[in-house]
Amino acid sequence: MANRSSIFTLRVVVDFLMSVLEKSSSPGMGPWERDGCYMPNSWQNDRDLLPSRETLITMLRVLPGAFFFIDDTETIMYANASAQAITGATLEELRGTPFWRGAPQLVSSELYHAMLQARQIQASTEVEYCSPVTRTWLHVYLSPTVGGLTLQFHEVRAPAQRKREDEIRTLVDAIPQLVWIAGPDGYITYNNQRLIDYLAMTLEQVEGDGWMVRVHPDDHQRVRQAWQTAIQTGTPYEVEHRLQDGTSEAYHWFLVRGVPQRNAQGMILHWVGTCTNIDEQKRTEQQFKESQESFRLLAETVPQLVWTMWSDGRLDYTNQRYRDVTQANLNLEGDDLWRQFVHPEDIERTLMLRHQVLKNGNIYENEYRLRDGRTGEYRWYLARALPVRDEAGQIVKWFGTGTDIDDQKRIEEALRQSQEQANILMNSSIIGINIIEGEQIVEANDTFLRMTGYTREDLRAGNINWMRITPPEYRALTQQVHQQLTVQQYITPYEKEYVCKDGSRLPVLVGAVVLQHFPYQSIAFVLDNSARKELEQRKDAFISMASHELKTPLTALKMQAQLARKRLERQSPHEAATALSRVEGSIQQLERLIGELLDVSKIQAGRLEYLQEIVDLDTLLHEVTDTMQQISTTHTIVVRGATLCSLEGDKDRLGQVFINLISNAIKYSPGAETVEIDLSASPEAATIRVRDHGQGIPQEQRDKIFERFYRVSGPNQKAIPGLGMGLYIVAEIVRHHGGTITVESEVGKGSTFSVTLPLKRSLKPESTSVPETLG
Ligand code: ADP
């Protein structure tokens, strides 16, 4: 159906043709009579200037609308091809026939009145009506001409439909979408206002393919091709291309869509299309593309293994490094993929974790050993993956990385070991450790606290200040040492004392190193030096005592020797002999002293020699007590019971044990009169107890008396000579014979030393049985 603009165009063409035809017809002949056609006379004069008559007639014949020329009696003089088609008659049949009879399909009262009017006013007029025969709406353009009237018919849409179309068009013009309509041949016939505004072109400029000038040159070919394909195949048209904004001259991306509108027979009536601005979407797409590209670029550059995975666990992407390192077959599905390179010991944990996070969508983090496919060597990796979700919160993908943490692991392990070692050191029960910041001890181990008597609470409360726990006489030295520490970063151990929490002094050996500079901290190692100090004191005491002990018999020896010489000079041999026997006594005393000193040094060197012989204990003890009784003028030695045992050992050394114990018992009970010896035995061992009623030994010193050179401190003790070697030698001999020595004592009441000797090495069978009377 023709639209208004095409009717207008046709009308212009027809008017032109008619005027030419009128001018070209020969005089005397009716305008349409030559060759059976009417030819206007006036055309004769300008004949040479005009298109040929045939050409003009042909043009009229092929006009798309029905065209009639009727004379003043309304008889048809000419009807073109369309008119013949509508009436269903040939030109010959129509010519000479009254119009009302020849073309009943076109007849109506409105047309009749229009004809009258045209003739009357001798000017062109138009009429529109609905054919009572065909029920189609017709637009007729009536134009009076020489000797008659031309009628041009066009089928038009019914006014109601046109109104609706106009309304739709108004609506279409109002919507923000850019809308266009094209004919079945692809020729643009309509653009809505928006599109017109956007293109900044008139409808006429846009029509046909005028709009193509606004298509981006790079997209031209693609658009044209797509449009042609759509028209040829009748399939919907959809193309994304850039279209220029006519005002700003900027190009924007549009999604242009067109769908064909078809009639009941399936013929395409026209194409209706829209242009949607997709600039934003394109930009996003571009950004996404760019970000994806930069992700890939990044993924290829980073020193990690990078992978992406679909939500179902299938691998999507891996970077080159990933492929290089694993050398794995990445086409393998599911767990098999990971089994290729995860260490057998780590695989179960890894797979379990993977399944878990795939289910719950948590962040995946796992450490495992990964086999380097190139070297076959396993290295520790930290695998991390994050889920990427869509707007609905659904996981779309997983982004993961694998970082080589092998070196880190090794360092961690080394650190852990060294930390363990540091902990061992820190928790060492031998070395006290403290960390000093300024004058404050900010950290300390239990040993240090135990040494000094402070508690952890004191430490936390900042109550331990190293200057305050340093006695005044050591402060200058300590400060000097600390300066040395600042200069050379360490100090060699030095001796000092601490004032403990209870006020007592503790001799210590302290070494330190600088721990860190900000804040300045040093760490000090503290050794309890009291034992060494005591030993030193003991040695000092021993030396002075030993000098005294040696000097006494020597002085006596010297005096007796002089006396003996004088007696001999005076020729009194009897007196000389008495003096010499005293010399002997002193020599014996010296001998014993030197013997003990030698024993101590042999014990120290592990070279004390023992004989292996059978020793009858009872006999030995009686011999010893008899000798001791002879020497002692103050005490009575009482022997009770018997062991009735013999054992294998060194008789003299065992004798030395009992001599020592009995002489101590006498020596340390100056006011007492007896020393009791109790002998007993069990099948396993013989026990010898030596009891005195002397000064006793304080509880806390009872263990120490068996140590080398140890002498109980106290006023009573000082008066009694001794070098602290006897019990040390005794304990050593007893130990050598597999026995034990213990002491029970009460200060002021006396002490009992018990020696138990095992009989298992006894050679005497009867020694195992003890008579009841003697038990
Ligand atoms: P010393 O030569 O001093 O006697 P010992 O080694 O024999 O050396 O004894 C060590 C210390 O044990 C003595 O100095 C003394 O203080 C104490 N001691 C030993 N025996 C007795 C005792 N029977 N009664 C009290 N104290 C004793």
268-280 confidence digits (pLDDT tens): 888 888 898 888 8
**pLDDT tens digits for 500-518?**
999 999 999 999 999 888 8
**3-state SS record for 425-490:** HHCCCCEEEEEEECCEEEEECHHHHHHHCCCHHHHHCCCCECCCCCCHHHHHHHHHHHHHHHHHCE
Q: Are residues 579 and 647 in the same domain?
A: no
> Does residue 8 lie within any of the structural domains?
yes
Q: Are residues 637 and 768 in the same domain?
A: yes
Is the CB–ligand 1 distance for residue 665 below 6 Å?
Answer: yes
**pLDDT tens digits for 34-51?**
444 444 444 444 444 456
Using an 8 Å Cβ cutoff, are 224 and 252 in contact? no
Q: Are residues 13 and 96 in the same domain?
A: yes
Task: Write down which residue in 277, 309, 331 finishes a domain.
Answer: 277
Position 171 pLDDT exceeds 60: yes
Number of domains in the chain: 6
Average pLDDT, the chain: 86
Is the CB–ligand 1 distance for residue 664 below 6 Å?
Answer: yes
Work out whether the CA dihedral 532, 534, 536, 538 comes out positive or negative: negative
Which region among 165-169, 226-230, 495-499, 704-708 has the lowest average model confidence (pLDDT)?
165-169
**Which atom number of ligand 1 is nearest to the Cα of residue 696?**
25
**Which atom number of ligand 1 is nearest to the Cα of residue 660?**
7
pLDDT at 11: 60
Is the CB–ligand 1 distance for residue 695 below 6 Å?
Answer: yes
More confident residue, 467 or 770: 467
Is the CB–ligand 1 distance for residue 751 below 6 Å?
Answer: yes
Position 771 pLDDT exceeds 70: no
**pLDDT tens digits for 606-642?**
889 999 999 999 999 999 999 999 989 999 999 999 9
Using an 8 Å Cβ cutoff, are 377 and 336 in contact? no
Q: Are residues 341 and 438 in the same domain?
A: no
> Does residue 12 lie within any of the structural domains?
yes
Beta bridge partners of 143: 150
Using an 8 Å Cβ cutoff, are 712 and 698 in contact? yes
CA pair distance 567, 85, nearest whole angstrom: 191
Position 6 pLDDT exceeds 80: no
Q: Are residues 8 and 152 in the same domain?
A: yes
Instruction: Name the pLDDT band for 21 (thresholds 50, 70, 90).
Output: low
Ligand 1 center–CA 731 separation, angstroms: 13
369: DSSP letter: E
CA pair distance 34, 555, nearest whole angstrom: 188
The percent of residues in the chain predicted with pLDDT above 90, rounded, is 47
> Does residue 420 lie within any of the structural domains?
no
Ligand 1 center–CA 612 separation, angstroms: 29
Is the CB–ligand 1 distance for residue 694 below 6 Å?
Answer: yes
Task: Write down which residue in 410, 438, 470 finishes a domain.
Answer: 410
Is the CB–ligand 1 distance for residue 705 below 6 Å?
Answer: yes
Residue 14: Cβ within 10 Å count: 20
- Which of 599, 727, 729, 734 should be mutated for ligand 1, with most atoms under 8 A from CB? 727
Q: Roughly what angle, to the nearest 10 degrees, separates helices 651-667 and 617-631? A: 40
pLDDT at 47: 46
First to last CA, the chain: 149
Is the CB–ligand 1 distance for residue 656 below 6 Å?
Answer: no
Beta bridge partners of 257: 238, 274
Is the CB–ligand 1 distance for residue 692 below 6 Å?
Answer: yes
Is the CB–ligand 1 distance for residue 313 below 6 Å?
Answer: no
CA pair distance 698, 675, nearest whole angstrom: 20
Q: Which residue has the CA at smallest separation from atom 13 of ligand 1?
A: 711
C-alpha count within 13 angstroms, C-beta hemisphere, residue 602: 13
Which residues are CB-neighbours of 255 under 8 A, at least 6 positions away?
Answer: 238, 239, 240, 275, 276, 278
Ligand 1 center–CA 673 separation, angstroms: 18
Position 450 pLDDT exceeds 90: yes
> Does residue 418 lie within any of the structural domains?
no
Most confident of 35-39, 334-338, 604-608, 749-753: 749-753
> Does residue 514 lie within any of the structural domains?
yes
Strand ranges (E), 538-621? 613-616
Instruction: Name the pLDDT band for 172 (thresholds 50, 70, 90).
Output: confident
**pLDDT tens digits for 546-572?**
878 888 888 888 888 888 888 888 888
More confident residue, 292 or 151: 151
> Does residue 621 lie within any of the structural domains?
yes
Where in the sequence is the domain holding 187, given as residue range(s)? 160-277
Position 312 pLDDT exceeds 60: yes
Q: Are residues 69 and 176 in the same domain?
A: no
pLDDT at 227: 92
Q: Which residue has the CA at smallest separation from atom 27 of ligand 1?
A: 668
Q: Are residues 757 and 646 in the same domain?
A: yes
Is the CB–ligand 1 distance for residue 697 below 6 Å?
Answer: yes
CATH number at residue 104: 3.30.450.20
Position 366 pLDDT exceeds 90: yes
767: DSSP letter: G
| Overall average pLDDT of the 14-27 stretch | 57
Position 706 pLDDT exceeds 70: yes
Q: Are residues 643 and 741 in the same domain?
A: yes
Q: Are residues 674 and 759 in the same domain?
A: yes
**Which atom number of ligand 1 is nearest to the Cα of residue 728?**
6
| Overall average pLDDT of the 361-379 stretch | 94
- Which of 661, 705, 733, 755 should be mutated for ligand 1, with most atoms under 8 A from CB? 705
Determine the distance from the C-alpha atom of residue 53 to the mean position of all C-alpha atoms in its chain, rounded to a whole number: 95
User: What are residue 217's phi and psi, to 5 degrees?
Assistant: -50, -35
pLDDT at 19: 63
Q: Are residues 403 and 476 in the same domain?
A: no
More confident residue, 373 or 2: 373
DSSP helix/strand/coil, 690: strand
Task: Write down which residue in 112, 127, 156 finishes a domain.
Answer: 156
CA pair distance 608, 586, nearest whole angstrom: 25
Instruction: Name the pLDDT band for 7 (thresholds 50, 70, 90).
Output: low
Position 352 pLDDT exceeds 60: yes
**pLDDT tens digits for 665-702?**
999 999 999 999 999 999 999 999 999 999 999 999 99
Ligand 1 center–CA 390 separation, angstroms: 93
Is the CB–ligand 1 distance for residue 727 below 6 Å?
Answer: yes
Query: Concatenated DSSP letters for 605-664?
Result: HT------EEEEHHHHHHHHHHHHHHH-SS-EEEEEE----EEEE-HHHHHHHHHHHHHH
Instruction: Name the pLDDT band for 267 (thresholds 50, 70, 90).
Output: confident
Ligand 1 center–CA 665 separation, angstroms: 8
> Does residue 590 lie within any of the structural domains?
yes
Closest among 324, 368, 315, 319 to 346, alpha carbons compared? 368
331: DSSP letter: T
> Does residue 544 lie within any of the structural domains?
yes
Q: Are residues 293 and 218 in the same domain?
A: no
Q: Are residues 644 and 767 in the same domain?
A: yes
Beta bridge partners of 215: 243
Is the CB–ligand 1 distance for residue 712 below 6 Å?
Answer: yes
| Overall average pLDDT of the 151-157 stretch | 86
- Which of 660, 661, 664 should be mutated for ligand 1, with most atoms under 8 A from CB? 664
pLDDT at 415: 87
pLDDT at 184: 86
**Which atom number of ligand 1 is nearest to the Cα of residue 695?**
25
Position 24 pLDDT exceeds 70: no
Using an 8 Å Cβ cutoff, are 382 and 405 in contact? yes
Ligand 1 center–CA 693 separation, angstroms: 14
| Overall average pLDDT of the 202-223 stretch | 89
Ligand 1 center–CA 724 separation, angstroms: 7
H or E segment and range at residue 512: strand 505-516
CA pair distance 498, 500, nearest whole angstrom: 6
- Which of 712, 733, 742, 751 should be mutated for ligand 1, with most atoms under 8 A from CB? 712
Is the CB–ligand 1 distance for residue 102 below 6 Å?
Answer: no
**Which atom number of ligand 1 is nearest to the Cα of residue 722?**
2
Ligand 1 center–CA 16 separation, angstroms: 158
pLDDT at 43: 42
pLDDT at 762: 41
| Overall average pLDDT of the 71-82 stretch | 90
Q: Which residue has the CA at smallest separation from atom 8 of ligand 1?
A: 724
pLDDT at 774: 32
pLDDT at 374: 94
